[in-house]
Amino acid sequence: MSTVAVPSPPPTASEDAESLRKALQGWRADKAALVGILCRRTAAQRAAIRRAYAFLYREPLLNCFRYKLSRHYCLLSVDFWKALILWTMDPAERDANLVHEAVKKKDENYILVLIEVSCASTPDHLLAVRKIYLKLFSCSIEEDVASSPALREPLKKMLVSLVSSYRYAGEQVDMDVAKLEAAQLSEAIREKQLHGNEVVRIISTRSKSQLRATFQQYKEDQGRDIAEDINSRCSSQFGRMLKSAVWCLTSPEKHFAQVIRYSILGVGTYEDLLTRVIVSRAELDMKRIKEEYMARYKSAVTLDVAGDTSFGYRDMLLALVGSED
């Protein structure tokens, strides 16, 4: 499902590090070369390149990028360097940084980061993010979320439960539980009591396979999709975030297609959203996100991204999104 086009055979990590060093020289870096190398390598290859670069040149590659970023005041260059830094980072470290930035903000677009990292990741990735967060910031994610003055109950309760979860990742499903919990969810939605203990418990502790079965059962019982029902009956912020969690858990492509659309229709800081989605999903499910985007908005992600961005930043995003089939 990855849209990252790795050349075959790829250069060695040392060769890549040398090419990157050349591309970084001079006042203007060779952005095309940076994109041509880094955006065509997997996370494991990028890690090897970071190690080779640090070994050869006695400084971290990311520090060179951060130095370039600090010297650019043109918005498009800033977006380019920010995106390149996020893409070059270890994915768990990247998400830990995104979460740390998000915890302090009231903006819904940032609260979504917490839901994306906790629900659209594998349980083991979330654990890796929590580990590195502890190391980087000397406190836990749940500690920061629970004590954040920017977040209010009952949303805070749900977010704390989501980021603390370590779900079963297997396929085993209990259909009795699915039936019971589909009924509990339907009652909560009907009575607009989403923030009760049961809804948060189900969403934050059950495995993705189990939730898929529960939501399927809900559809059979109610004749409607649970995400649609939450959307139409509970329009509060909590309802919107719950719908995002439901999507991230069982069909993340729907959530991310919507975030891309929203970031493209908007102006200004929405580049942060666009970068976040493309960088974090390129290696996971970008193909499915593109299909979903096409089906829903009758337009191609590549076309819309190309129309809304420019120069190096655009080239980088397009390299990660891949060509349309």
In the range 265-284, which residues lie near its own copies by CB under 8 A?
none
Pattern 204-223, its own copies, x by CB under 8 A: xxxx----------------
**51 vs 45: CA distance, rounded Å:** 10
Residue 147 sits in the site that holds its own copies (CB under 8 A): yes
Closest approach, Cβ 192 to its own copies, in A, equals: 21
The reply to whether 26 sits in an annotated binding site is yes
Which CB, 39 or 120, lies closer to its own copies? 120
In the range 14-53, which residues lie near its own copies by CB under 8 A?
none
**89 vs 106: CA distance, rounded Å:** 26
Which CB, 88 or 165, lies closer to its own copies? 165
Phi-psi region of 42 (alpha: psi -120 to 50; beta: other; left: phi over 0): beta
Give Cα separations from 78 to 25, 106, 312 (angstroms): 18, 23, 10
**321 vs 323: CA distance, rounded Å:** 7
**17 vs 249: CA distance, rounded Å:** 37
Residue 153 sits in the site that holds its own copies (CB under 8 A): yes
Single-letter amino acid code for the residue at 41: R
Which CB, 171 or 324, lies closer to its own copies? 171
Closest approach, Cβ 205 to its own copies, in A, equals: 4
The reply to whether 322 sits in an annotated binding site is no
Please provide the distance, in angstroms rounded to a whole number, between the alpha carbons at the two ends of the chain: 13
**145 vs 206: CA distance, rounded Å:** 21
Closest approach, Cβ 168 to its own copies, in A, equals: 5
Residue 193 sits in the site that holds its own copies (CB under 8 A): no
- The backbone torsions φ and ψ at residue 255, rounded to the nearest 5 degrees and listed phi first, read -65, -50
Which CB, 199 or 257, lies closer to its own copies? 199
Closest approach, Cβ 131 to its own copies, in A, equals: 8
Closest approach, Cβ 182 to its own copies, in A, equals: 15
Which of 123, 77, 85, 112 shows the shortest CA–CA distance to 313? Answer: 77
Count of helices and strands (H, E) across the chain: 20, 0
Burial environment of residue 7 by CB neighbours within 10 A (0 to 12, 13 to 18, 19 or more): exposed
Which CB, 31 or 167, lies closer to its own copies? 167
The reply to whether 309 sits in an annotated binding site is yes
Which CB, 187 or 324, lies closer to its own copies? 187
In the range 118-137, which residues lie near its own copies by CB under 8 A?
123, 127, 130-131, 134
- The residues that touch its own copies, with contacts defined as CB under 8 A, are 123, 127, 130-131, 134, 138-140, 142-143, 146-147, 153, 157, 160-161, 164-170, 172, 197, 201, 204-207
